[in-house]
């Protein structure tokens, strides 16, 4: 009897230890993704800098790409990341750089303008907003790459060499104006970076806010090849959930936006990506888009592996005030 009780006690103890280990919170000591981590919580558990010693901080190093605009109109919204002691970020002209985080020494610099020899290129592409970058490596720590957007191009850059990975997409990048289901006349641009789930790069885009806005689909691409793996239509198409909420059965053919420009968050354990969206194109006029306007102004929960709908919460029905969800969620 004692033996049975002892075995039962040991089994219960092992289970408790196992559960405690399993439920242990991550350390949050790094900053390996936009907003601190895929959870989007902008939190660091580091304790070297405190309320008592913050006043003693001094400049350790500075770095500049020399991109300041002569008219003093420069802006830099990039939230850099740090992986294995290397800081990755983008400059006002969207040059991608890698620095030794301890010293500020430049490891490499990628200038997208050096690849664009077309006279038809957008002269303002290099001043469009890039709020951050995405890092990925395979399970063996190889094939390290940085994903970041310059206008409608989302590049895959070798994290060690600072060069485009030629066998990714169209010679090193994917074109966000493609795979939208129709031709678009207004711009499509990457701004806030997406998230990585396993071998998928899940991303949104910034689009116009006028009535001719491009579709705001949420898309996932293979991180190795750049191939489109899944797509979620934020203006539902025939047969999709939410389609019947639109009085105009052809809304998906001519309306746009309902896009994710503000970032997203990932519950990696459950495989759920949380995606906030903006309003339907024609932000302040709604006569041409009757109905609640799904999935505009929503927080969407999607299966990160497939893009399938899980749930949504619409913050504003039939938005007439441009009440976009302006930041990535946290969980």
The tens digit of pLDDT for each residue in 99-119 reads 999 999 999 999 998 887 665
Do the domain assignments include residue 80?
yes
Nearest Cα to Cα of residue 325 among 266, 293, 288, 279? 279
Residues 6+ apart with CB under 8 A from 306: 230
For the segment 93-98, the average pLDDT, to the nearest whole number, is 95
Do the domain assignments include residue 255?
yes
Q: Which domain holds residue 286?
A: 29-42+63-314
Q: Of the residues 122, 283, 322, 324, which is catalytic?
A: 322
pLDDT tens-digit series, residues 293-331 = 999 999 999 999 999 999 999 999 999 999 999 999 998
**CATH code for the domain of 220:** 2.140.10.10
Q: pTM of the full predicted structure?
A: 0.89
pLDDT tens-digit series, residues 155-212 = 999 999 999 999 999 999 999 999 999 999 899 999 999 999 999 999 999 999 999 9
What pLDDT was estimated at residue 196? 98
Indicate the helix (H) or strand (E) that contains 10. helix 2-22
Active site residue 167: no
Provide the number of structural domains found in the chain: 1
Do the domain assignments include residue 321?
no
- ω into 45 cis (within 30 of 0): no
Residue 21 has pLDDT above 50, yes or no: no
CB 208 within 8 A of CB 281: yes
Do the domain assignments include residue 48?
no
């Amino acid at each position: 009897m004692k033996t049975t009780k002892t075995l039962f006690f040991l089994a219960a103890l092992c289970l408790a230890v196992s559960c405690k280990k399993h439920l242990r919170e991550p350390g949050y000591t790094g900053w390996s993704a936009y907003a601190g981590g895929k959870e989007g919580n902008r939190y660091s558990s580091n304790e070297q800098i405190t309320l008592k010693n913050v006043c003693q901080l001094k400049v350790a190093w500075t770095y500049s790409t020399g991109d300041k605009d002569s008219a003093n109109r420069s802006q830099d919204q990039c939230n850099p990341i740090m992986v294995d002691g290397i800081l990755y970020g983008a400059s006002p002209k969207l040059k991608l750089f890698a620095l030794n985080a301890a010293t500020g020494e430049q490891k490499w610099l990628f200038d997208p303008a050096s690849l664009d020899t077309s006279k038809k290129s957008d002269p303002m592409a290099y001043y469009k907003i890039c709020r951050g970058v995405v890092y990925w490596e395979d399970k063996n720590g190889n094939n390290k790459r940085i994903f970041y957007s310059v206008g409608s191009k989302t590049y895959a850059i070798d994290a060690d060499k600072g060069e485009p990975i030629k066998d990714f997409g169209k010679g090193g990048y994917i074109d966000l104006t493609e795979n939208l289901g129709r031709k678009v006349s207004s711009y499509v641009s990457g701004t806030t970076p997406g998230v990585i789930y396993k071998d998928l790069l899940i991303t949104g885009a910034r689009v116009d806010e006028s009535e001719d806005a491009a579709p705001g689909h949420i898309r996932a691409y293979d991180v190795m090849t750049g191939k489109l793996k899944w797509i979620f239509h934020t203006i539902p198409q025939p047969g999709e959930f939410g389609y019947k909420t639109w009085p105009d059965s052809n809304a998906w053919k001519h309306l746009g936006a309902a896009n994710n420009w503000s970032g997203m968050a990932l519950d990696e354990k459950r495989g759920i990506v949380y995606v906030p969206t903006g309003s339907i194109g024609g932000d302040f006029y709604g006569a041409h888009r009757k109905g609640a306007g799904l999935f505009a102004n929503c927080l969407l929960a999607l299966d990160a592996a497939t893009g399938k709908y899980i749930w949504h919460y619409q913050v504003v029905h039939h938005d007439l005030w441009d009440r976009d969800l302006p930041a990535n969620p946290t969980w």
